[in-house]
Amino acid sequence: MSNEVINTVRVQAAAGRSEELGKQLQKIVDTLRELPGCDSYMVDRCPEDSNRWNVSARWQSEAAMQSHFNSPQVQGFIGLIDSRLANAVDFNSFPIV
């Protein structure tokens, strides 16, 4: 059984701000993928809804993922709402089995 985990973030762009949101998400992801225990961190635009972005990360352990939640860079996701780039941010995580 694997100890690896995945976390996902679904972000809904505010009206007319999807392109700008995508650029900001990429900046956040570029810093987070450098954290210890991170195997990958990616951002993709949803093919069915151009205003929705999906971010996913794969971690070597739950401890590495939990540690990353405490990093200042993760607050960038919350800042997307404060800056009115996004109107919803939904976090999820689950083990890889």
- pLDDT per position as a tens digit, 29-77: 999 999 999 999 999 999 999 999 999 999 999 999 999 988 888 888 8
pTM for this model (two decimals): 0.88
Q: How far apart are CA 19 and CA 36, in angstroms?
A: 29
Residues 6+ apart with CB under 8 A from 16: none
pLDDT at residue number 2 = 62
**Both structure tokens of 55:** 């971010």
Q: What residue has token string 């151009």?
A: 50
pLDDT at residue number 96 = 83
